[in-house]
Amino acid sequence: MLMVLMQFINFDVKMRYFVNRLADYISGQPVQVDAARCTQYVVRTVDVIRTRMPPTAENCDGGLYVGCAGVGYALYRLASVEQLSASRDRLLAAATEYVDVALQYATGRRGRDPTTAFLLGPAGALVVGSLVFDAVGRSAPAAELRKQYAAMASAVCKPGDFLGCGSDEYFVGRAGYLCGSLVLNAAYKQQVILAGHMDIFYIFS
């Protein structure tokens, strides 16, 4: 009945799926991955991103989620992939460009999100900046960024509704800050953000 009605009103029905042309997986058999082809695809995709979303202040809004900080983090992660080792220096150089502009945007407070916001705000840029700067040998500014991030704990982990709409969610609240802390602790294999900096009772009460 629905199809008849749509045909009557000349409704354009578009497919919401794609045809899978790949062979079905057979249990027990190894999966063949064309590493060279995948590498070429990744490199081309990076070039497209850099062309369509250059490291400018206009592209910083959205932080780690959809902004320059997120592109910088993606490039940083790609630089650690063994199959992309030949492009490591180029990827890290590009990551630095995105991180530099993201940090300038964050410190200029042009964004609309709280300073402590991890995914959408300045806090995420601090985390990514630390990782990228250390990867390119800029250890002093990387350490300073971690120090700034740790200093936010006293503000974000106290009881209260500092957002005015709930302060415990992932994009701009406490959960995001905790995630950033875990990222740093895992990357440096030590307690970068010490437990003493965060009152866990208040966070989860």
Residue 175 banded pLDDT, cuts 50, 70, 90: confident
Whole-number Å distance between alpha carbons of 175 and 79:
27
12 has pLDDT over 80 = no
Listed in sequence order, the DSSP H helices in 53-121 are 63-66, 68-79, 88-107
- What pLDDT sits at residue 192? 80
Question: Is 201 exposed, middle or buried, given 0-12, 13-18 or 19+ CB atoms closer than 10 A?
Answer: exposed
- What pLDDT sits at residue 109? 65
127 has pLDDT over 60 = yes
Taking residues 14-24, report their average pLDDT: 82
Whole-number Å distance between alpha carbons of 84 and 27:
29
| pLDDT tens-digit readout, 67-109 | 999 999 999 999 999 999 999 999 999 999 999 999 999 988 6
Residue 205 banded pLDDT, cuts 50, 70, 90: very low
Asked if residues 136 and 96 have their Cβ atoms less than 8 Å apart, the reply is yes
Taking residues 142-146, report their average pLDDT: 96
Taking residues 169-197, report their average pLDDT: 83
Structural element, H or E, at residue 38: helix 35-52
5 has pLDDT over 80 = no
pTM: 0.81
Taking residues 99-128, report their average pLDDT: 87
135 has pLDDT over 70 = yes
- What pLDDT sits at residue 204? 46
Whole-number Å distance between alpha carbons of 73 and 79:
10
Residue with tokens 């120090």: 147
Q: What are the φ/ψ torsions at residue 143 (nearest 5 degrees)?
A: -65, -35
